[in-house]
Amino acid sequence: MPAKPFSSIAAPMAKTSRKDASANIADVLAMMRHSFSTSDSVRHMLALVVLRWLADSRRSGFDLPFPLDLPPDLLYHVPLMQADDLPDWLDRMLRELELCNADELGGVFQHLNFRSPRFMFSQQDRGILGKAIDLLWMKDRHGCSWALLLAALETARKALVANSGAPELNTPDSIAALVAALGRPDSGDWVYDPACGTGQLLAQASQCVAREERRHWCLSADERNPTAWMLAKLSVLSQGLSSRNIRRADVLRADYFTEHDDVEGLYDVVISHFPWSRKGWRHEDAPPDPHHRFRAGLPPKNNADFAYLLHMAFALRPAAGRMVAVVSTGVLSRTGTEGRIRMRLLARNLVDGVIALPDKMFQCTSAAAAILLLRTDRAPRQDVVFVDARGMAASAKGANVLSAEAVQEIAGIYSKRAPVDGRAALVSPDRIADNGHSLNVALYVVQAVEGESHDLHEVRARRHELREQLKNLNARIDELLAPHPHGPAAAGLEQA
Which DSSP string do the residues of 439-460 spell out, in sequence order? --GGGT-PPPPTT----HHHHH
**pLDDT tens digit sequence for 211-266:** 666 656 688 999 999 999 999 999 999 988 889 999 999 999 988 887 777 788 88
Is the pLDDT reported for residue 169 higher than 50?
yes
Q: What is the Cα–Cα distance from 113 to 90, expressed in whole angstroms?
A: 9
Q: Is the model's pLDDT at 465 over the cut of 80?
A: no
Model confidence at 147: pLDDT above 60: yes
Tell me which long-range contacts 23-27 makes (C-beta under 8 A, separation of at least 24).
24/135, 24/136, 24/139, 24/148, 24/151, 25/49, 25/136, 25/148, 25/151, 25/152, 25/155, 26/155, 27/135
The Cβ of residue 8 has, within 10 Å, a number of other Cβ atoms equal to 13
Specify the pLDDT at position 368.
Answer: 84
| CATH topology assigned to domain 167-443 | Rossmann fold (3.40.50)
pLDDT band for position 6 (cuts 50, 70, 90):
very low
Better-scored residue on pLDDT, 279 or 119: 279
Digit-coded pLDDT (tens) for 48-96 = 999 999 998 888 888 888 899 999 999 888 887 766 788 999 999 999 9
Residue ranges covered by each domain of the chain: 18-164, 167-443
pLDDT of residue 458: 58
pLDDT, tens digit (0-9, with 9 covering 90-100), for 342-357: 999 999 999 999 999 9
What is the model's pTM?
A: 0.84
Question: What are the angstrom distances between the C-alpha of 214 and each of 203, 236, 262, 270?
Answer: 11, 10, 24, 17
Cα–Cα distances in angstroms (integers) from residue 123 to residues 135, 191, 262, in the given order: 18, 49, 53
